[in-house]
């Protein structure tokens, strides 16, 4: 009964009301008919009762029809609700399925994208590692090439320096040899020139002594074996500036006569080469009459 009430509450309530009304009608209708029997003829009472029952039946049928229509309508409404609910459930299920599919697809897409990104990241990492390794290899190769180039340049520089040093040493040795040869040649030339100058000097010293001796006047007394050394200062042209005995003969008259003869012999003979005048600017000679 409670299950029927939960399913069709309106129909149950209407049915209860109809049955209560019918019971009340029968109860109160009997009492009324008994009173009327006393005041009216029996024929009329029976007729009235028959009419009332037909009406009641008609009303009951009408009520039943209404109840049936209500049940049908309620059933239709419930069916429609059920269909709607089933449609909504189906739609909700489809929506849930679609959401699940979309979620699955999104998850798959995310997983695929994550895998793709991981693959890209891994590829980038591998490429970066390869670039780093290549850069390291290139750096080592460049360092090796640089080291080899520097070693070659250093060896070349050392070779050039050695060659330059050898060349410089050779040139220096050649220059030093040339200098030595030049020095030797100059020395030889100087010695030769000195020999010539000495010969020329000796020659003109002899000429000077001869001219002094020609202008010498022998002093009185014994002068045999006497000699002295005279220092003469000359100027260009042979003129005598000063004549002085610097190593005496021991005889003042003899020394004085030599000095006077030296002055008197001016201008003394000099070589034509002006470079030799330095030898005669201050001249010392040994004087001894008769050689």
pLDDT tens by residue, 207-235: 999 999 999 999 988 889 999 999 999 99
Whether 91 is in a domain gets the answer yes
Q: What angle do CA 261, 266, 270 make, to 5 degrees?
A: 120
Answer yes or no: are the C-beta atoms of 46 and 33 closer than 8 Å: no
Domain of 225, in residue numbers = 215-287
Domain count, the chain: 2
- First-to-last alpha carbon distance for the chain, in angstroms, is 196
Whether 152 is in a domain gets the answer no
Whether 54 is in a domain gets the answer yes
Whether 120 is in a domain gets the answer no
pLDDT confidence bin for 27, thresholds 50/70/90: low
Alpha-carbon torsion, ordered 237, 240, 246, 250, to 10 deg: 130
50-69 pLDDT, tens digit per residue, is: 557 888 888 888 888 888 89
Q: Which of 52, 74, 104 is the last residue of a domain?
A: 104
* pLDDT, greater one: 261 or 20: 261
Answer yes or no: are the C-beta atoms of 262 and 245 closer than 8 Å: no
Whether 262 is in a domain gets the answer yes
Q: Which of 36, 70, 104 is the last residue of a domain?
A: 104
Q: What is the mean pLDDT of residues 164-171?
A: 61
Environment class of residue 200 by beta-carbon count within 10 Å: exposed (0-12), middle (13-18) or buried (19+)?
A: middle
Q: How many residues does the chain have?
A: 291
Whether 139 is in a domain gets the answer no
3-state secondary structure of 149: helix
Q: Which of 104, 124, 142 is the last residue of a domain?
A: 104
Whether 229 is in a domain gets the answer yes
Q: What is the mean pLDDT of residues 2-14?
A: 67
Q: What is the mean pLDDT of residues 182-187?
A: 68
pLDDT on residue 85: 85
Q: Is the pTM of this model over 0.85?
A: no
């Amino acid at each position: 009964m409670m299950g029927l009430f939960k399913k069709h509450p309106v129909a149950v309530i209407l049915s209860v009301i109809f049955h209560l009304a019918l019971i009340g009608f029968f109860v109160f209708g009997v009492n009324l008919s008994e009173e009327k029997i006393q005041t009216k003829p029996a024929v009329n009472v029976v007729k009235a009762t028959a009419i009332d029952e037909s009406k009641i039946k008609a009303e009951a049928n009408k009520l039943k029809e209404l109840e049936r229509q209500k049940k049908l309508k309620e059933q239709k409404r419930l069916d429609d609700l059920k269909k709607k609910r089933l449609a909504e459930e189906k739609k909700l299920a489809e929506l849930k399925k679609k959401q699940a599919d979309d979620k699955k697809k999104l998850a798959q897409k995310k997983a695929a994208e994550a895998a793709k990104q991981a693959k890209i990241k891994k590829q980038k990492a591998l490429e970066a590692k390869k670039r780093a390794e290549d850069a390291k290899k290139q750096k080592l190769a460049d360092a090796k090439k640089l080291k080899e180039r520097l070693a070659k340049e250093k060896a070349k520089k050392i070779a050039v320096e050695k060659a330059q040093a050898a060349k410089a040493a050779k040139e220096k040795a050649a220059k030093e040899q040339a200098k030595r040869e030049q020095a030797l040649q100059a020395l030889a030339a100087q010695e030769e020139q000195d020999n010539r100058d000495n010969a020329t000097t000796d020659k003109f010293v002899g000429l000077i002594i001869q001219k002094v001796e020609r202008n010498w006047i022998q002093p009185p007394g014994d002068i045999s074996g006497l000699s002295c050394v005279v220092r003469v200062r000359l100027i260009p042209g042979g003129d005598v500036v000063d004549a002085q005995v610097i190593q005496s003969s021991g005889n003042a008259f003899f020394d004085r006569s030599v000095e006077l003869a030296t002055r008197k012999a001016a201008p003394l003979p000099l070589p034509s080469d002006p470079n030799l005048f330095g030898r005669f600017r201050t001249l010392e000679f040994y004087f001894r009459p008769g050689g």
